[in-house]
Amino acid sequence: MKRAAAVLAAILVALACGRDERPTAPAPGGFSLWQFGGHWTRAGDGELELASLRGTPVLLLFFYGSCQSTCPLLVHELRALEGRLPVEARDEVRFVLVTIDPERDTPERLAAYAREQALDPARWLLLRGAPEQVRELTAALGVRYRNAGDQLSHTARVFLLDRDGVELEHWDGTSPPLESLARAVTAATRRG
Amino acid sequence: MTATLALAAALVTMHRVPAGTYQPLYPLKGESTIPVAEFLLDERPVTNAEYLDFVRAHPEWLRSRVSPLRAAESYLSHWAGDLELGAGADPAQPVTFVSWFAATAYCRDAGKRLPSEAEWELAARIPGDGPDAAEAERKVLAFYGRPRGQLPRAGDSPPSPDGVRDLYGVVFEWLSDWGASVLPEDARESGGSDGGYCGGAAAAAGAPERYSAFMRVAFRSSVAPRDALHHLGFRCAQDGS
């Protein structure tokens, strides 16, 4: 039985790891994410539809407010990136953070989070949607997460979307290469 | 059209699955069991005939019109045409070659939702650890290991204790929480890459005797939400209260 378990575990690891040999982004190029409907609540106040983000390049990150390590690190990195961008690019790009913990991340909590992290409301959008909306959006981008009440686990990945909401590039991990991110964002803002 | 759909959807009996718990195979740190509230589950997977009614009422889900973001090219590729099942798809067979997005939309339109992994696994549980359980487990594994031929008609297999059919031996099924099955034990420490869990996850897994459940988890983690595959269908669920 032990050997069977070991063999099965090996198969499972092979299957699981095999997945990563496929293209990491399940969404094919050229299709706008903004086709996903539904109303999203902004931190603080107001609602918006994702389609209203059309026209602006977006850096997109999934996060949750009570996250202690990955999310603050990534938000910190994105703020560092913000400071590094040429003025024109910085004024145009939007930093969009979507919570994967909509139950606890109320609009008030998101607003408090934005204040604590000193996120400029002119450039940073913190969004909350119904759980099924969040699952659809993450699924479209191949982002996995599990919300187990007190515990959340998720893929740490930053996405760059063009003016039409089409994925241009993504970066994995908690310390994305800021130089290449800055170049990519600047290029995206210069594209018509 | 809507009336036809409502009729078809109404024909599916739903069964009450009592509240219980599900033990995830790859628990997060500090996570032991997931409580599951009582819920209702379709007796059988959604059929080709029912899905045909759905696409008739919602042309954005026609094979020729579906957004490539929501379904791979193989979507409904076994049908003869946009609104024609043809020889490759019996009306009473479970619909397959449908993406997670399509399954989600179908259930939403029926006023239902996909079951979560915890719910589905609770409904499909093999109780006990005696010889009967071992035999049941063996049969499930034999099914997973066999190349699949023609799909049976939906609803033809014997019911579970809750009255639910076709949980095993027919098709794999889409679940509401795509992407929740297998994750790095702690994504916050894994460095974040999706591949971060590869080595450690199996070692961290609980309950190695639940072979068939491991195979389902492996299968689920191998499919992307756009995928539309033979032997991957779905059924809908509803809150119990």
Per-residue confidence (pLDDT) for residue B198, from 0 to 100: 25
- Residues in A closer than 8 angstroms to B114, CB to CB, are none
Per-residue confidence (pLDDT) for residue B214, from 0 to 100: 86
Nearest-CA distance A88 → chain B (Å): 31
> Hey, is the C-beta of B35 within 8 angstroms of any chain A C-beta?
no
* Chain-chain contact of A151 with B194 (C-beta, under 8 angstroms): no
**Cα separation of A70 and A175, whole Å?**
9
Per-residue confidence (pLDDT) for residue B147, from 0 to 100: 76
> Hey, is the C-beta of B30 within 8 angstroms of any chain A C-beta?
yes
Amino acid letter, B99: S
* Chain-chain contact of A35 with B183 (C-beta, under 8 angstroms): no
Residue closest to B164 by CA, chosen among B133, B123, B136, B114: B123
| 3-class secondary-structure state, position A44 | coil
pTM of the model: 0.83
* Chain-chain contact of B222 with A31 (C-beta, under 8 angstroms): no
Residue B7 CB partners (closer than 8 Å, separation 6+): none
Q: Where are the extended beta strands (E) located within chain A?
A: 39-42, 47-49, 58-63, 94-99, 124-128, 145-148, 151-154, 157-161, 167-172
Nearest-CA distance B172 → chain A (Å): 16
Ranges of residues in chain B whose predicted pLDDT is under 50: 1-6, 184-204
Question: Can you say whether the dihedral through the CA atoms of B178, B181, B185, B191 is positive or negative?
Answer: negative
Cβ atoms of A140 and B99 closer than 8 Å:
no
Please give the C-alpha separations between residue A135 and each of A71, A115, B11, B160, B213, in angstroms, as whole numbers.
Answer: 18, 26, 29, 29, 23
Which pLDDT tens digit goes with each residue over B190-224?
A: 333 333 332 223 334 555 567 888 889 888 888 99
Ranges of residues in chain A whose predicted pLDDT is under 70: 1-30, 150
**Cα separation of B108 and B167, whole Å?**
21
Dig out the tokens for B232 from the structure: 């991957």
**What single DSSP character describes residue B16?**
E
Residue closest to A50 by CA, chosen among A121, A129, A103: A129
**Cα separation of A192 and B20, whole Å?**
55
